[in-house]
Structure 1
């Protein structure tokens, strides 16, 4: 048994959820083949929902959020992993209903863990985290649908967020011309620093929701926000183009028609990074460590301690965070 620090979310008086750094014992962790000493985690929108008491993400409290973790195996009951192995865990039930990565220790099934690719440090893996994995999956789906760097401008919505910022950087590094959309005034230079060639105001993407079709503009898109913005993107894709959809901050529903699909042959591609088979996740992490390795990760990241995490959670819920938040648990 070992004592460790963790962010614990509890329901207080009048249904208000409180976040506190507490001391826990590894004996309190759930069953699993691997006990992992977490060195880094990262903050995602889903973590903030869990930390604010969203029962659609986390059913019961007290709870420790954190859907991402990277660290070192401290105990293993399976032959595939040895003590000292460096591993990455993203998604599955981690941080949702299983005690998550906002803690110095986690215990998880071996089927959730992959060994760290040689081309990425644990820190780099968590600068990317679920957001980076999702961004890479979006780009991969677009390329599988026929996208190439000569096709024309690629739109990224919610571009200052975690998935959006990695998508901008990744697409730019692969030679695409990136148009980055944001509602955050004054973040144009940040996005251009990641490789965006064009900045699109969010208001421009919200115009025309009452129209069945819009002018063809985009050779492809990564949408991280959903809602009516997503369908406006669908309506403004070039003939045969695709949009990869992975987010919902602007809403889970939109009003649309079949016209863009049957008149322009466009594609709406759903992307999930949570329940992917482990072999698919591992192959994508390998790609992010070699062919798709980003050289400007420090431009994306703001590092916080466990004690500073509650403030960052409030910022992401208020839509004020830019880029990625790395949680250091060393």
Structure 2
């Protein structure tokens, strides 16, 4: 196989650098399935992967990218054949296993799922890990009592980011109307309303979080931020309500008491999208391809691998909106 281009992250003189380089198949991690990558997407985790002490990549050099969609070039596993359209998200890809920011990827067969019939390779990456995570979060909240017909008071944090923006759109499409979007900057107000929120709440309006039990403002919270934001919201969840947690952009620590849990029956629902069983993944992708398909209206920016540094900086600054996908093939 001829050489191909990939983003390569390297450690040089105690600094982390990344650039577009020529690479070859023997420089990829081992795997059963070789894929021609058509699209990838840029996630918060990908931004961390190219930072010093970002906590994502542990050995260098490494090709980042936790998502990809493409066509199978070759497979040593009988479940896949040349030409199959496939998706890979999560697992060790882009961390300890070479990832999707490459024209060619090689991965373990158990990580690969076939593209649903109603979804294109491009649409799959408009969702990507962000959409998969949003879907898991919504499903878990609904499993714990959230229903459109009850018109629950919902709050989505990080509402104009990758996970939050998709969550807002799916919730609105599913019939939820009483949705508040938590924002940090004034310009995010109209964006959140366009995505499906009924109103917005500025993060400065959350209060100081000093009371272990505060006014019960929300029935369900879909949190993508963690840290102080999650800490301040837990005391505001109503009796029997829930919060899903899937991100740590605001920090990895939560400062709370047990009182919301034991006096109001509040549930905290941890969401992991990385190691979800391959047996479970297809049902979520089928939902995203059908009743939860919001790809036609999702705010999306398409770039090339050469333009990646600009998007990485926006993610780092907190100014990135919606989803950015990378057209590779």
* Short-chain TM bin: over 0.9
Deviates more, 1:155-164 or 1:143-152: 143-152
Distance 1:30 1:295 in 2: 31
Contact 1:208 1:214 in 2 (8 A): no
Query: What are structure 1's unaligned runs of at least 5 residues?
Result: none
Distance 2:193 2:284 in 1: 26
Query: What are structure 2's unaligned runs of at least 5 residues?
Result: none
Partner of 1:131: 130
Q: TM-score, normalised by structure 2?
A: 0.97
Partner of 1:30: 29
Distance 1:2 1:29 in 2: 13
The answer as to 2:258 corresponding to 1:258 is yes
Partner of 2:233: 233
SS at match of 2:279: helix
Runs of 4+ deviating beyond 4 Å: none
Aligned length: 327
Contact 1:151 1:219 in 2 (8 A): no
Contact 1:48 1:317 in 2 (8 A): yes
Q: Deviations over 1:65-102 (max 9, x none)?
A: 10000000001111110000000000000001111101
Deviates more, 1:210-219 or 1:133-142: 210-219
Contact 2:34 2:75 in 1 (8 A): yes
Which aligned pairs between 1:133-212 and structure 2 lie closer than 5 A? 133-149=132-148, 150-176=150-176, 177-205=178-206, 207-212=207-212
Partner of 2:302: 303
Contact 1:153 1:178 in 2 (8 A): yes
Distance 1:238 1:200 in 2: 17
Q: TM-score, normalised by structure 1?
A: 0.96
Contact 1:218 1:238 in 2 (8 A): yes
RMSD: 1.2
Contact 2:301 2:325 in 1 (8 A): yes
Partner of 1:114: 113
Partner of 2:48: 49
Q: CA deviation at 1:266?
A: 1.0
Q: CA deviation at 1:228?
A: 2.0
Shift in alpha-carbon separation, 1:203–1:320, aligned structure 2, 3 A: same
Partner of 1:282: 282
Distance 2:45 2:233 in 1: 24
Partner of 1:273: 273
Distance 2:11 2:186 in 1: 35
Partner of 1:83: 82
Distance 2:167 2:131 in 1: 8
Q: CA deviation at 1:290?
A: 1.2
Contact 1:223 1:243 in 2 (8 A): yes
